[in-house]
Structure 1
Amino acid sequence: MKVLISDEKLKITFIILLLVVSCLLTYYFQIILHITIIYSHFFYIPIVLSSLWWKKRGLIVSVFLVGIIIFLPLVFEENALIRLDNIIRGIFIILIAILLSILSIHISKSNELTKAYNKLEFYKFLFMHDVNNLFQNVLSAADLYSVYQKNESKKEELDHLLDIIRMQAIRGGLLVSNTLKLYEIENTEVPLEKIEVLTVLREAVSFTYKSCQSKAIDIEIDSEYEKLFILANNLLLDIFENILFNAVKYNNSNIVKISVKLSKTQEDHTDYIKLEFLDNGIGISDDLKKNIFNQGFTGQKHSKGMGIGLSLVKKIIQNYNGKISVENRVLGDYKEGSNFIVEIPEIN
């Protein structure tokens, strides 16, 4: 919000500066040099910019400039008359401003339609791809279960199949929940409040242990601080759960090891809480790192993908004025696991 306000103030300041220059040009050419045909090409700069930035409201700038062209001589010259050429020039300026405003409105609507279409395509892909994978996994596990349950020696395999079905059910629940939360973030303003980070992190760790009982998991929290506060909301829990769940899901080690390190950093005079989620999973190649937080990205055409988990995480963190990145856990070797780094501004 602050960035938007700052940008708007900058635009207004720039247009005012251009209008001042326009007034000076008009005064110099018409009043001092007495040139009836003034150098008015400069006027089109504020006209074009205001029309593109503010659409119909930008016409105010054009009306002001036309007033300057027509009426400034009347103020500074005795017995001055309204000149026909200035009136014609003013009419052309207004017409051009109207056309630019209409064009800007159409461009804006076109961009909105494109964004809406892209969102529709994303959600369509999401449910065709991820939901289909969920059902296929559950059906395959159920079919094998019906075969193995007749054989008493297959008890271990049966337990494994039940774990698969349980994990797919959890994944389906997360997919639906994440989709609703992504929609909420994109269409409403979610209020922020003072939240203690370690409390939420421990809750996410507890959820991960309960949700992934079929795997041997070791999650360690490394923090020299007892309490750390940020401006966030209940979606902070989703950030931690998504990252931890992916660390377990994309991990082929006998024991899933996750270390969460908390520290403090400073950048551009802002204090940040830094959380590093280091895992011993399959890792992420450098090519995939570039797009892994993009909406709808799955890595490979036929991969199971990460749904909207990481794109949701990124959107939530940006809503907190924070940032997220991913590095190799071991420098130079992505196959040794990943390090997801989350930085969110600290409050006292």
Structure 2
Amino acid sequence: MFETFNKQDDEAEEGSLLSLYDNLLIHDLNTILQNIRTSSELSDRYIDNPKLNYKLKELIETIKQQATRGFRLLSNINKLSQLESSQLDIYEIDVCDLLRKAIDYVKTPLQNNLTIKIDTPFNEYFINANELLQDVFENILVNAVIHNGNSLIEISINASEIVQGKKRYLQLAISDNGVGIEDARKKIIFDGKKLKVNNGKGLGIGLFLVKKLLGLYKGKIRVEDRVKGDYSQGSNFILLFPKSKRRKT
């Protein structure tokens, strides 16, 4: 089932958003800082031992990744605040261009163990959105990388045009070979009212930002198992974007 969005949902969430941001920000930043501190302390043990230089390099990479995660967390909080406090402009924009930029952003630090395959008949496809659409793609792709324990991270993106009623939509299916999402969590990962810290694990705000932006773009999203019936084989996010009526091709 696709996630849908309406004004009542937004109004119901407004009262608890500040508390939500505070809780998630505090939890996730604590986790990031703890990981950085642990890696730094371990680095002190290896720095004077040439035989353990490979471990030192791994720890430095961990620190870099956690710093990147921290910057993204703050960026997401900032963009959610923008969505709540101002009316963002919507205009005709090329999805394919922003998708390519998002892929370049994600692949840069993880080039050696990440493959992203794209199957699309389009060189360009215009919808009514804005530059924050790139954040939709980046958040889904970054999650696919972070929540993946495989030595080779595989992401596939398939694009097609479908018709629902009398409307044409761009459909993007973004699948990965990560840890997957249990059925119970599938029901709440886009729900701002149910985002919370649970048993030491935050659900994060990336997908909440995705939901809010898709609502702004009049889009739809759902998540399913990459392999039907086995969530542990990875996830498949299906996104629908209404085609711009001004474009005939």
Query: Please, what TM-score do these two structures have when normalized by structure 1?
Result: 0.65
Richer in helix (by share): 1
Choose from 313, 326, 329 the match for 2:210. Answer: 313
The alpha-carbon distance between structure 1 residues 118 and 298, as it changes in their structure 2 partners (threshold 3 A), is closer
> Is 2:85 aligned against 1:187?
yes
Matching residue's letter, 2:106 = T
Alpha-carbon distance in 2 for matches of 1:166, 1:200: 25
Q: Which residue of 2 aligns with 1:39?
A: none
Alpha-carbon distance in 2 for matches of 1:222, 1:115: 37
Choose from 252, 256, 261 the match for 2:149. Answer: 252
Does structure 1 retain, via aligned residues, the 8 Å contact 2:182–2:231?
yes
> Is 2:104 aligned against 1:203?
no
Size of the aligned set, in residue pairs, is 236
Alpha-carbon distance in 1 for matches of 2:156, 2:121: 14
Richer in strand (by share): 2
Q: Which residue of 1 aligns with 2:3?
A: none
Offset of 1:306 from its aligned partner? 4.3
Does structure 2 retain, via aligned residues, the 8 Å contact 1:280–1:337?
yes
Alpha-carbon distance in 2 for matches of 1:321, 1:117: 23
Give structure 1 stretches of 5+ with no counterpart.
5-111
SS state of the match for residue 328, structure 1? strand
1:98-154 per-position Cα deviation (integer Å, ceiling 9, x unaligned):
xxxxxxxxxxxxxx8x85651222122022201111111111111111111121111
Alpha-carbon distance in 2 for matches of 1:198, 1:116: 32
Does structure 2 retain, via aligned residues, the 8 Å contact 1:265–1:271?
yes
Alpha-carbon distance in 2 for matches of 1:256, 1:346: 31
Choose from 137, 140, 163 the match for 2:61. Answer: 163
> Is 2:29 aligned against 1:131?
yes
The alpha-carbon distance between structure 1 residues 115 and 286, as it changes in their structure 2 partners (threshold 3 A), is closer
Alpha-carbon distance in 1 for matches of 2:65, 2:110: 7
Mapping for residues 267-278 of structure 1, pairs under 5 Å: 267-278=164-175
> Is 2:169 aligned against 1:262?
no
The alpha-carbon distance between structure 1 residues 119 and 337, as it changes in their structure 2 partners (threshold 3 A), is same
Mapping for residues 287-302 of structure 1, pairs under 5 Å: 287-295=184-192, 297=195, 300-302=198-200
Give structure 2 stretches of 5+ with no counterpart.
1-5
SS state of the match for residue 107, structure 2? helix
1:136-179 per-position Cα deviation (integer Å, ceiling 9, x unaligned):
11111111111111211112211111111111111111111110
Q: Which residue of 2 aligns with 1:326?
A: 223
Q: Percent identity?
A: 39
Does structure 2 retain, via aligned residues, the 8 Å contact 1:288–1:299?
no
Q: Which residue of 2 aligns with 1:212?
A: 110
> Is 2:239 aligned against 1:342?
yes
Alpha-carbon distance in 2 for matches of 1:298, 1:116: 15
Larger radius of gyration: 1
Alpha-carbon distance in 2 for matches of 1:182, 1:216: 31
Does structure 2 retain, via aligned residues, the 8 Å contact 1:263–1:274?
yes
Matching residue's letter, 2:81 = Y
Alpha-carbon distance in 2 for matches of 1:299, 1:251: 20
Greater relative CO (CA pairs within 8 A, separation 6+) = 2
Does structure 1 retain, via aligned residues, the 8 Å contact 2:94–2:126?
yes
Q: Which residue of 2 aligns with 1:28?
A: none
Offset of 1:293 from its aligned partner? 1.1
Matching residue's letter, 1:329 = R
Query: Please, what TM-score do these two structures have when normalized by structure 2?
Result: 0.89
